[in-house]
Structure 1
Amino acid sequence: MTISIGEKLPSATFKEKTADGPVEVTTDSLFAGKKVVLFAVPGAFTPTCTLNHLPGYLENRDQILARGVDAIAVISVNDWHVMGAWAQQSGGMGKIHFLADWDASFTKAIGLDADLSAGGLGVRSKRYSMLVEDGVVKSLNIEENPGQATVSSAATMIEQL
């Protein structure tokens, strides 16, 4: 079942590449006592994710944080090496968290996994954004089409803040 507004996120551990190497990031360390914007993409470096979805969050980072948000994170079913390279290439390293859900365990636990095998991607995440306060989902925006980044865009999230 897909997670719903008002539900608590399940416990999970992600990997994130930092300047000092990979670190583990738990849902508790990221969300406990904080207001966080989390958005998910089907794949790092894929066209819609790189050209349309991620740039909005990077360009509007300061505006989002100014609205009381403590952190912004992007998650994808990729390994931490890929997410780290995407963070570097996009200029997002150190600005937002680039979280690797390498085995899709978190994505499956919240019911937002998608089988994109027909496109050669395998099991990935649906494209979505959510506002999470102290680990609880306050808003959830799921794209109907993985090739679109409108419902889950930074602009939509700013309106919801």
Structure 2
Amino acid sequence: MIALGATLPSVELWENKPNNKVEFPDGKIIIVGVPGAFTPPCSSQVPGYVVAAEDFAAKGVVGIYIVAVNDVFVTNAWKKNLGFENYENVHFVSDWNGEFTKALGAEFDASGLLGPVRSKRYALVAENKKVQKIYVEGVVTDVDVSSAQNVLEEL
């Protein structure tokens, strides 16, 4: 995984539609990496971040970015399916080719289930685009270390 203090990779990510590029803002952000939109563990992990968005904001977080190695149509449909279309500080982001995930060192081979390149389950705290904290699950289906509750308690 990317080292503490490292700068977030400058890789093109999309939100809502193709070529709608995501720019991480200055300030404190949370990036949540998930193996795949619509999968049961991911769909159970993400709501914790959305529900706690105001609690994160109270601790100085200016944005929460849910990053999946899926195309932008899938991440957008997942956001709508979960009912989280109207949360302006929570972003569902497409890492359609896995480039961001690979640059973080968070990829794993999910052949036979989700496709060859997917993201490990993680949460990352960055401030001014520098990595401050990293929470990576030992087992990709677990949602403990990277849960919203755990990350919020440690901020």
TM-score range, shorter chain: over 0.9
Structure 1 portions without partners, runs of 5+:
none
The match for 1:36 is 29
| Inter-partner Cα distance in structure 2 for 1:63 and 1:50 | 20
Contact 2:36 2:114 in 1 (8 A): no
The size of the alignment, in residue pairs, is 153
Structure 2 residue aligned with 1:93: 85
Between the aligned partners of 2:75 and 2:42, the Cα distance in structure 1 is 12
Task: Name the % identity.
Answer: 37
Which one-letter code corresponds to 1:81 in the other structure?
Answer: F
Number of the residue aligned with 2:14: 15
Paired letter, 1:55? P
Secondary structure of the residue that 1:130 maps to in structure 2? strand
**Paired residue secondary structure (1:43):** coil
Q: Which amino acid aligns with 2:99?
A: S
Tell me how large the CA RMSD over aligned residues is: 1.4
Q: How does 1:115-154 map to 2 (within 5 A)?
A: 115-154=109-148
Paired with 1:15 and 1:149, the residues of 2 have a C-alpha distance of 25
Q: Give the alignment of 1:7-86 within 5 angstroms.
A: 7-17=6-16, 23-25=20-22, 29-31=23-25, 33-51=26-44, 53-86=45-78
TM-score, scaled to structure 1: 0.90
